């Protein structure tokens, strides 16, 4: 970052500055449930003229820039996808009300909800693809959902017959998102990347030992 930028860790996200300590603590607890830390770091330009600060994702992948105004001020995304946002963006959570979606949907019971009227930045694994739905249904490999318009319907369904589910190598369930709106999907979820790396690591050699 350039000289002249001040940064400070705070409980609040800046969306409701009039809230007292306990109000900010409650909001921070909601962020923790969505996969974020208790504190958020606020960056402020206290110098003269334009300054810049750069952010990087915590693992290899892509960063997605979203104008919340294009989503009527609200978007849902997978847990821990949030990277940074304009001051005043509220970072909260939303429960998946359906047990099946929570258990098998790849994103768990809790989704992150970003609310505001500025820019927000998300990170995901691999390549991010944008899909526009017009009263349509999109079937997605579980875990590959990054974000979607908050008014879309999100569920899961079986990936096919019992034989396909057991031996098709594509998993037992698919995420389905239906309605009219925008969906972002990722090509390589972090959990899958970790599993792939672990599967290719050489196994430790076994050593026999005898004592007299």
DSSP letters, 57-118, are -SSSSEEEEEEGGGGTTEEEE-TT-EEEE-TT-EEEEEE--SHHHHHHSSS-SEEEEEESSS
Asked whether residue 23 is assigned to any structural domain, the reply reads no
* Spatial CA neighbour of 57 closest among 177, 195, 175, 188: 188
- pLDDT number for residue 19: 57
Residue 120 lies in a domain: yes
CA dihedral for 53, 33, 78, 196, sign (positive or negative): positive
* Alpha-carbon span 131 to 162, nearest angstrom: 29
pLDDT over 60 (residue 103):
no
In a domain, 71, yes or no: yes
Q: pLDDT class for 204, splitting at 50, 70, 90? A: confident
Q: Which range among 132-136, 142-146, 206-210 has the greatest average pLDDT?
A: 132-136
> Can you give the pLDDT at residue 158?
63
Using the 8-state DSSP alphabet, how is residue 36 labeled? -
Q: Which has the higher per-residue pLDDT, 40 or 4?
A: 4
The answer to whether position 94 is within a domain reads: yes
Q: What is the separation of C-alpha 162 from the centre of its chain, rounded to a whole number of angstroms?
A: 31
Is residue 209 a part of any domain in this protein? no
Q: What is the mean pLDDT of residues 168-191?
A: 80
pLDDT grade for 162, boundaries at 50, 70 and 90: very low
**pLDDT in the model for residue 68:** 95
**Chain segment 78-97, per-residue pLDDT in tens:** 877 889 998 888 888 776 55
| Number of domains the chain is built from | 1
User: Tokens 């927000």 sit at which residue?
Assistant: 120
**CATH code at 113?**
3.60.160.10
Lowest pLDDT segment from 38-42, 57-61, 88-92, 122-126: 38-42
Q: What angle do CA 115, 120, 124 make, to 5 degrees?
A: 115
C-alpha to C-alpha distance for 9 and 11, rounded to whole angstroms: 7
146 domain residue, yes or no: yes
d(CA 45, CA 87): 12
The confidence score (pLDDT) of residue 14 equals 60
Q: CA–CA separation, 120 vs 209, rounded Å?
A: 57
Residue 106 lies in a domain: yes
What is the pTM (predicted TM-score) of this model? Answer: 0.73
pLDDT of residue 206: 61
* Residues 155/101, Cβ–Cβ less than 8 Å: yes
pLDDT given for residue 154 in this prediction: 87
The range of the structural domain enclosing residue 158 comes to 57-200
80 within some domain: yes
């Amino acid at each position: 970052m350039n000289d002249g930028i001040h940064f400070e860790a705070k409980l609040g996200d800046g969306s409701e500055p009039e809230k007292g300590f306990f109000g900010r603590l409650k909001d921070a607890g909601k962020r923790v449930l969505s996969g974020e830390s208790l504190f958020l770091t606020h960056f402020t330009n206290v110098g003269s003229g334009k300054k810049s600060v750069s952010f990087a994702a915590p693992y290899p992948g892509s960063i997605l820039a979203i104008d919340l105004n294009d989503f009527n001020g609200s978007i849902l995304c997978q847990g821990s996808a949030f990277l940074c946002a304009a001051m005043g963006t509220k970072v909260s959570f939303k429960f998946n009300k359906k047990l099946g979606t929570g258990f098998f949907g790849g994103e768990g019971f809790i989704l992150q909800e970003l609310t505001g009227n500025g820019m927000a930045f998300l990170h995901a694994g691999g390549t991010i693809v944008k899909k526009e739905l017009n009263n349509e249904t999109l079937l997605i490999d579980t875990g590959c959902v990054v974000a979607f318009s908050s008014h879309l319907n999100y569920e899961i369904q079986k990936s096919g017959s019992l034989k396909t589910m057991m031996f098709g190598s594509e998993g037992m369930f698919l995420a389905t998102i239906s309605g009219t709106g925008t969906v972002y999907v990722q090509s390589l979820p972090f959990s899958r990347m970790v599993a792939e790396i672990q599967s290719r690591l050489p196994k430790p050699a076994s050593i026999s030992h005898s004592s007299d």
